[in-house]
Each structure stands twice: as C-alpha cells, then as structure tokens.
Amino acid sequence: MNKFAALIIDDEPDIRALIALTLKRMELDCYQAGSVSEALTLLQERPYHFCITDMKLPDGNGLDLIELCNTRHPDMPVAMITAYGNMELAVNALKAGAFDVVAKPLDTERLRELVKAALQLTKVPANIENLPSADGLLGQSASMRALKEKIFKVARTQAPVFIFGESGTGKELVARLIHHQSARMDQPFVAVNCGAIPRDLMETEFFGHTKGSFTGANSEKSGFFRAANGGTLFLDEVAELPLDMQAKLLRVIQEKAVRSVGAEFETPVDVRVLCASHKDLGLQVQAEEFRQDLYFRLNVIQINVPRLADRAEDIPLLIRHFIRKYSQEWGMPEIMLEDSAQQALLSYHYPGNVRELENILQRAVTLAEGDSISLSDLSLSKPIDEEPDDSNPRIETNNLEAYLENIERRAITQALEATRWNKTAAAEKLGISFRALRYRCKKLEID
Ligand SMILES: Nc1ncnc2c1ncn2[C@@H]1O[C@H](COP(=O)(O)OP(=O)(O)OP(=O)(O)O)[C@@H](O)[C@H]1O
C-alpha cells in the first residue's frame, strides 16, 4: 500500500492505462473509473490525494464533477484533461476550481510535474483556520474575511490570478500569501514592478540573455521567468507593460518556454503567473491599451482587494499592529496614541490605503517625544477638496521658467505625497506615464 492514492476518470481505457502507469511509477495507488457514476461510487469508498478527470464522460461532464468534488472533497486536487488548444474550456475548468489542466495528447513529463505539485498540497494546512495568523494580512472585517477565504481557495490551484485594488491596499501581500499557501511554497517567489523597468531592458529582464549576445552582455542572465522556475512570478502594475512586451509575455505563458536574447533554443519553464494593477484591465482592453488574449490568460480568477476606507473597522487593529511593530523596531516600549490622534486616524480618508497608515505611524513613532503620539505627530494630509483654490494664481515673477518649474514641482510632490510616494499611482494621478514622471523627478531633483 502506497502513501498516496489517485482516482483516474476517463472513458478511454488506453488513456486511463497511460495515466495509471505514470502515476504508479510515482508510487501512487491508482483507482480507475470510466464514467461519472463509477467515479461517485469510488469517491464514497475511500479518500484520494489526487484526481484527474476527462472533460467528456458518457454520463456527464468533468466540470460538474469538479464542482461536486470541491464541495464534498475540498482537500482533493482535481486536474482536468482538455482538448489541445481549447483555451475557453481550460479557463472554465480553472474557474470551476480545477487544480490545473492538462492537454491531450498527454505529455507524461507534464503530467508528472502536475501530480508532484498536487501532492505538495498535502503539506499545506487543509483549512483556513489552521493557517498561521502571522501570515500578515490583517483585518477581521467581512470583506477581509472573504478575501482570505478566496486566497485560500485559489492557492490550492495553479490558476492565474489578477489582483485588483488601489495602491497600498496590500496586493503584493495577497500575492505572497497565495504563493506561501500553495503547492509552490518551497520554490521561488519573484515580484516584478512592470512600471519600473526601462523599456529597452524589458526583454532581457524578463527572458534573460546569453553571454556575448550584445555589447555589454559579459555574462549570462537568467531573467525573471527562469528565476521563478517551479515557483510564482508576480507581475505588479501589469497594465504598464507596453503592447510589444504583452505579446512576448503571452507567448511565454502559452508555450511554457522562454527564449533568452541571443539563445538558439527555448527553455521550458514552469511558472505560475499572478499579476496586479490598480487599473481596471477590462477598461484597458476596451481602450486597446491591453491585449484581450493576454487579459483572458491572466484574469482567469480575479481577486478584489478592498480600500482601507471601506473597511474602517479594521483600522484600530492595524494601528495597534504598526505601533507595536515600529516601537519594537526602535527598541522602545510600546508607545501610546493620544485620544485626539486616535480619533483623527479613525476618521481619516487614506488615499494611500494601508501603506499610508503604516507610513503615518512609522513617522509618528519616530518623531514622538515622550511616550505618546499626539495629533501633530501624525501630519495627516488634507483631502484634496480642502486644499486652497489656486486655479487662478497671480504670477509675480519675471522668470516664467522658474515659476512653471515651481508649479510642476508642487503638483508632483503633492501627487507623490497623496500616493505615499508610489510613483506608478502618482503618475496616474497626474495623467502622465511612469517614465515621464521619473524623468521630471530627476529634472526637478525630487527624490
Ligand atoms: N491587511 C494588511 N495587513 C497588514 N499589512 C498590510 C495589509 N495590507 C497592506 N499592508 C502593508 O502595507 C504596505 C503596502 O502593501 P502592498 O505593497 O502589498 O500594497 P500594493 O497594493 O501592492 O501597493 P502598490 O499597488 O502600490 O504596489 C506593505 O508594507 C504591507 O505589508
């Protein structure tokens, strides 16, 4: 008797036999069913660590079986066999909760990898209550509880996920949690801010280059995809990718292989792609700024991360957490928050979300004199509509250029402060590209 058991569901005996042979070599006990009804009988008889099902079965379809297994056997990963190139079906299977999909004709090497990954899940806690609470995503509001539940569910599949939310809401934290609760947890997690990579370096940063492939390529570079091999690649601010890079990315995701700059052949890569943006990718597609085919590939499952202002009941918990964190960091006893400061924090609007609250408290703990934080230690910024109206400024200068530079500097600094120095979000606010903002910051010496 082996440690693991697998259930193979397919009406073609030859395919069942091929899968069983591969799985037995991996030391799994194999049980076979040729129809949904046979599968349901076997599912009642014993637990399985892995299940693989064909889409079309004589008395039903694999999608219904996946949904049923998700309800009755939520710990068992179910993979689905689909016809080669049927993207829509593959996406539907993942949306229905399939662990992963594998195309016909079956590639036994790919099947082995998939099974190995599925069995890794036996190491991951089987229900959300058993996860260590120190995982970092704080919040007890209904929207945060729903978010954690969804993270837990998608972590148990290989499906691509698009994480949508305003800047500073915790999108990267969500991506890290998905990785750490997934079958890939022992493999690398590589986070990339797509808006921060200079355009002419993008290809080598993503796909690497061979030694001597261009002047200055003195050594080989592996690139993000190969660095994340076996693990998870997190593409933050994915909407910032230029269209030509989007086409290259799509190809790598479809082919599961990368070709480095200067390389003759492609190298296979096994990477789960998670991505995030504060922009609505659907709208970007409509505006023809984002490829629809890539959008369908990346946005198989969407996770929405709530704004902090929409879950105000979590603010006290976060305040305590950040005060404790920064008091400990400075090696001082936990500092108190004066009532007026607490009230101000509870009613503040947080355009920069949790990152802004964290920055406010980090600064306040550092600046506070004595053992408490006062209202003035918080230096909260005013909502935009309370700012002085300077729509019609008087020009009192004989140096127009310096005057305009001053206005530009002020607008940029305000946008940066409002977004807690997140350049991608600040550029968005100002209606200019990330690159244009970087250029202007350099020119105006804004750090
Ligand atoms: N729910 C939370 N609990 C604890 N810390 C949080 C939470 N959400 C965010 N943070 C903290 O806030 C900061 C910003 O989070 P993160 O970088 O994940 O946001 P983001 O949405 O990816 O931002 P951006 O869009 O600007 O990249 C981090 O220091 C993170 O640890």
Looking at the fold, whether 355 and 246 belong to one and the same domain comes out as: no
Closest CA to 263 of 312, 305, 309, 222: 222
Query: What does DSSP assign to residue 1?
Result: -
Model pLDDT for residues 37-83, shown as the tens digit of each residue = 999 999 999 999 999 999 989 998 889 999 999 889 988 999 999 87
Residue 444 has pLDDT above 70, yes or no: yes
Give me the DSSP letters along 127-192: SGGGS-GGGS----SHHHHHHHHHHHHHHTS---EEEE--TTSSHHHHHHHHHHTSTTTTS-EEEE
The reported pLDDT for the residue numbered 396 is 52
List the residue whose alpha carbon is closest to atom 26 of ligand 1.
167
SS (H, E, C) the chain: CCCEEEEEECCCHHHHHHHHHHHHHCCEEEEEECCHHHHHHHHHHCCCCEEEEECEECCEEHHHHHHHHHHHCCCCCEEEEEECCCHHHHHHHHHCCCCEEEEECCCHHHHHHHHHHHHHHHHCCCCHHHCCHHHCCCCCCHHHHHHHHHHHHHHCCCCCEEEECCCCCCHHHHHHHHHHCCCCCCCCEEEEEHHHCCHHHHHHHHHCECCCCCCCCCCCECHHHHHCCCCEEEEECHHHCCHHHHHHHHHHHHHCEECCECCCCCEECCCEEEEEECCCHHHHHHCCCCCHHHHHHHCCEEEECCCHHHHHHHHHHHHHHHHHHHHHHCCCCCCEECHHHHHHHHHCCCCCHHHHHHHHHHHHHHHCCCCEECHHHHCCCCCHHHCCCCCCCCCCCCCHHHHHHHHHHHHHHHHHHHCCCCHHHHHHHHCCCHHHHHHHHHHCCCC
Do residues 151 and 293 share a domain?
yes
Residue 414 CA to ligand 1 centre (angstroms): 21
Give distance in angstroms: CA of 248 to centre of ligand 1: 29
Pocket test for ligand 1, best of 240, 354, 361 (most atoms within 8 A of CB): 354
pLDDT, tens digit, for every residue of 199-253? 888 999 999 988 877 777 777 788 999 999 999 999 999 999 999 999 999 999 9
**Which of 165, 206, 160 shows the shortest CA–CA distance to 182?**
160
Percentage, residues of the chain above pLDDT 90: 54
Residues ≥6 apart with Cβ < 8 Å to 143 = 306, 310, 311
In a domain, 166, yes or no: yes
Distance 174 CA to ligand 1 centre (A): 8
Ligand 1: nearest atom to the Cα of 314 = 1
Reported ipTM: 0.98
Higher pLDDT among residues 330 and 281, named by residue: 281
205 and 292 belong to one structural domain: yes
b/e map of 97-108 (b: 16 or more CB within 10 Å)?
A: bbbbbbeeeeee
Residue 18: the pLDDT is: 94
**Same domain for 433 and 345:** no
> If you take atom 28 of ligand 1, which residue's CA is the nearest one?
355
Q: For the beta carbon of residue 266, count every other beta carbon within 10 angstroms.
A: 15
The pLDDT assigned to 131 comes to 60
> Do 177 and 245 share a domain, yes or no?
yes
Residue 279 covered by a domain:
yes
User: Taking residues 333-361, what's their average pLDDT?
Assistant: 90
In a domain, 129, yes or no: no
> Same domain for 367 and 397?
no
Among 95, 123, 151, which residue terminates a domain?
123
Q: For a pocket test of ligand 1, which of 236, 320, 323, 355 has the largest count of ligand atoms closer than 8 A to its C-beta?
A: 355
Could you tell me the CATH number of the domain that includes residue 108? Answer: 3.40.50.2300
Give mean pLDDT, residues 291-315: 94
The residue whose C-alpha atom lies closest to atom 10 belonging to ligand 1 is 170
168 CA to centre of ligand 1 in angstroms: 5
Q: What is the mean pLDDT of the chain?
A: 87
For residues 184-208, average pLDDT:
91
Question: What is the CA(95)–ligand 1 centre distance, in A?
Answer: 26
**Which residue's entry shows tokens 């010496």?**
445
Beta strand 50-54 with 4-9 is parallel
Q: Which residues pair with 61 in a beta bridge?
A: 56
8 and 29 part of one domain: yes
Counting ligand 1 atoms within 8 A of each CB, the residue from 145, 162, 172, 353 with the most, and so the one to mutate, is 172
CATH for 429: 1.10.10.60
Residue type for 388, please?
P
In a domain, 373, yes or no: yes
| Range in 8-12, 89-93, 135-139 the model is least confident about | 135-139
Same domain assignment for residues 91 and 172: no
- Show the domain range for 423: 390-443
Do 159 and 297 reside in the same domain of the chain?
Answer: yes
Q: Which residue has the higher pLDDT, 122 or 120?
A: 120
Q: What pLDDT, on the 0 to 100 scale, is given for residue 125?
A: 66
Distance, in Å, from the CA atom of 147 to the CA atom of 155, rounded to the nearest integer, reads 12
pLDDT tens digits for range 126-180: 666 656 554 588 999 999 999 999 998 899 899 999 999 998 999 999 999 999 9
147 token code pair: 């978010």
* Last residue within a domain, chosen from 265, 285, 304: 304
Give the distance (Å) from ligand 1 centre to CA of residue 259: 33
Q: Which residue has the higher pLDDT, 388 or 447?
A: 447
Closest ligand 1 atom to the C-alpha of 167?
25
Q: Which amino acid is at 25?
A: R
pLDDT value of position 389: 47
Q: How confident is the model at residue 15 (pLDDT cuts 50, 70, 90)?
A: very high
Question: Residues with Cβ within 6 A of ligand 1?
Answer: 136-139, 165, 167-173, 236, 278, 354-355, 358, 422, 425
Nearest to 49 by CA among 11, 85, 14, 75: 75
Residue 134, by phi and psi: left (phi above 0), alpha (psi -120 to 50) or beta?
alpha
The SS3 call for residue 6 is strand
Q: Whose CA is nearest to atom 23 of ligand 1?
A: 168
Please check whether residues 274 and 314 belong to one and the same domain.
no
Q: Say if 134 falls within a structural domain.
A: no
Quote the ligand 1 centre to 170 CA distance (angstroms). Answer: 3
Last residue of a domain, one of 248, 282, 304: 304
pLDDT at res. 2? 66
Of 145, 169, 180, 193, which is best to mutate to test ligand 1, by the most ligand atoms within 8 angstroms of its C-beta?
Answer: 169
24 and 4 Cβ atoms separated by less than 8 Å: no
Give the per-residue pLDDT at 380: 78
Give the total number of structural domains in the chain. 4
> 53 in a domain, yes or no?
yes
Please state, for a pLDDT cut of 70, what percent of the chain lies above it. Answer: 92
Would you state the pLDDT for residue 382?
62
* CA triple 359-361-367, angle to 5 deg: 105
**Smallest CA separation from ligand 1 atom 16, residue:** 170
